[in-house]
Amino acid sequence: MTYEINETHDPELQSWVESANDPNTDLPIQNLPFCRALDTKSSGDIFVGVAIGDKVLELSDDVCAALGTSYPFGETSQAVITGVSPQRLSELRRAVSRGLASDAADDVRETLSFDLHALDDCEILPAFRIGDYTDFYCSIFHATNVGSMFRPDNPLMPNYKYIPIGYHGRASSIVLSGEDIKRPHGQNRSDAEKPPIFVPSRNLDYEMELGFFVGQGNELGSPIPIERAEEHIFGVCLVNDWSARDMQGWEYQPLGPFLAKNFATSISPFVVTMEALAPFRTKAFERAEEDPRPLEYLSSERDRRFGGLDINLEVYIETERMRKENAAPFRLSRSNTKDLYWTIGQMLTHHASNGCNLQTGDLLATGTVSGREKDERGCLLELTWRGKEPIEMPTGEERRFLEDGDEIIMKGFCEREGFRRIGLGECRGRIIPAE
């Protein structure tokens, strides 16, 4: 099943939750992303909910009954998203959309109002229990830029156009937007004449990525065909793959990233469903004439035509000084997921192609999303060309890599003529000093 554009995407649709009708909100009634939350002002438990405007609708038993549906994720008391079919998820979306629409019946509205929490009062928790995390390397612009710093004559490895390159990350250190990031210690061998030293990272960086969650998994030994890949994807979020470049450069050969990456990974709070993204699908990356075609198991007509995602991504920095001077955060880059060389369907299918079992809540991320242009580079390593070309900011400050007190703010949003703009919200994290 693939999600079609339907009445839930109607740009005219308005909600009785007034804040959802603000043209600048990331969370209009056309979005309806999932989250897990705890209302710190009430005595309730952790719940699964749907965010709208400045509120989150708790999917309580009462709310589900009023919507004429049932809670799809096992028991409401468990408050964790489980693997459900795209059909079930789609039914729920229609029901929630009807219940939150301005023309909803008074009694429905009354029941829903009772379980509507102010986002400001809620502590937001990761939407899934994330068992495993895999990070890819799917921007050919990022891979070419980074490759050319280290191998100017041969930036792309021979496998790049055949394999969605990835590595297994670590799930335990995934944190939610807003949590501080402590500068990690690690081995640094900047002086090749001397042995490495163990110091706080000197080249701390961020990576702007799109993440996607596995909804329904697959059995061990049963690959997922490309035609069915998206049935296994629940939705997307923003990911900041914090990276200690000095540690990475010394440790990465021959087995790839390790401690340079797993000290922290930040994710945005809401999971925007694949159905909400239906109006923002686009063709897969158009390969150059001389590039190889993807192998059969990574090819489908539908994936070629609609496998891409048109999601705008932006990265801002707010330094200590900007906060002191009340200066606006400075935009470091903007890029778009439509420039990724591989689609999320290809990443997922490739991941399971050897029979590897993906499980509900697994997080897969695209790798740094960079574009063709200089201002579309999704990390400082690329933007400052390994620190050689520092960034100058309106406060007069310069950055090669991140300093203590710097906050990185990532944003994502979708816009298309004839549709309501929807947003992925923000992914924030501030660097605090090493211990």
Q: Which residues bind Mn ion (CB under 5 A)?
A: 135, 207, 241, 367
Amino acid residing at 255: L
Cα angle, residue 191 at apex, residues 188 and 193 outer, rounded to 5°: 125
Q: For Mn ion, give the closer residue by CB, 240 or 336.
A: 240
Q: For Mn ion, give the closer residue by CB, 135 or 275.
A: 135
Burial 400-424 (b: 16+ CB within 10 A, else e): bbbbebbbbbbbbebeeeebbbbbb
Chain centroid to Cα 325, Å, comes to 31
Cis ω for the linkage preceding 254 (within 30 of 0)? yes
Q: For Mn ion, give the closer residue by CB, 143 or 309.
A: 143
Q: For Mn ion, give the closer residue by CB, 26 or 241.
A: 241
Instruction: Report which secondary-structure segment, H or E, holds 88.
Output: helix 86-100
Output the smallest distance, CB 135 to Mn ion, in A: 5
Output the smallest distance, CB 248 to Mn ion, in A: 10
Residues contacting residue 152 through CB under 8 Å, at least 6 positions apart: none
In 3D, which of 207, 209, 181, 186 has the Cα closest to residue 198? Answer: 186
Output the smallest distance, CB 105 to Mn ion, in A: 47
Q: Please tell me the number of Cα atoms within 13 Å of 351 on its side-chain side.
A: 31
Q: For Mn ion, give the closer residue by CB, 36 or 142.
A: 142
Output the smallest distance, CB 142 to Mn ion, in A: 9
Output the smallest distance, CB 258 to Mn ion, in A: 13
Output the smallest distance, CB 239 to Mn ion, in A: 8
Catalytic-labelled residue, pool 9, 142, 232, 350: 142
Which residue's C-beta sits nearest to Mn ion? 241
CA 378, CA 125: separation in Å to the nearest integer?
26
In 3D, which of 425, 380, 368 has the Cα closest to residue 178? Answer: 425
Structure tokens at 242: 């914090």
Three-class secondary structure of residue 266 per DSSP: strand
Q: Is 142 a catalytic residue?
A: yes
Q: Give 171's DSSP letter.
A: S
What Å distances lie between residue 345 and 146, 177, 230, 271, 307, CA to CA?
25, 26, 6, 17, 7
Q: For Mn ion, give the closer residue by CB, 244 or 422.
A: 244
CA 46, CA 53: separation in Å to the nearest integer?
20
Q: For Mn ion, give the closer residue by CB, 135 or 339.
A: 135
What Å distances lie between residue 65 and 31, 72, 129, CA to CA?
22, 12, 26
- Whether the CB-CB separation of 199 and 302 falls below 8 Å is answered with no
Place of tokens 């998206």: 230
In 3D, which of 142, 145, 136, 134 has the Cα closest to residue 163? Answer: 136
Output the smallest distance, CB 141 to Mn ion, in A: 14
Q: For Mn ion, give the closer residue by CB, 71 or 252.
A: 252
Burial 233-270 (b: 16+ CB within 10 A, else e): bbbbbbbbbbbbbbbbbbbeeeebbebbbbbbbbbbbb
Output the smallest distance, CB 238 to Mn ion, in A: 13
Percent helix, strand and coil across the chain, each to the nearest 5:
25, 25, 50
Active-site amino acid positions: 142
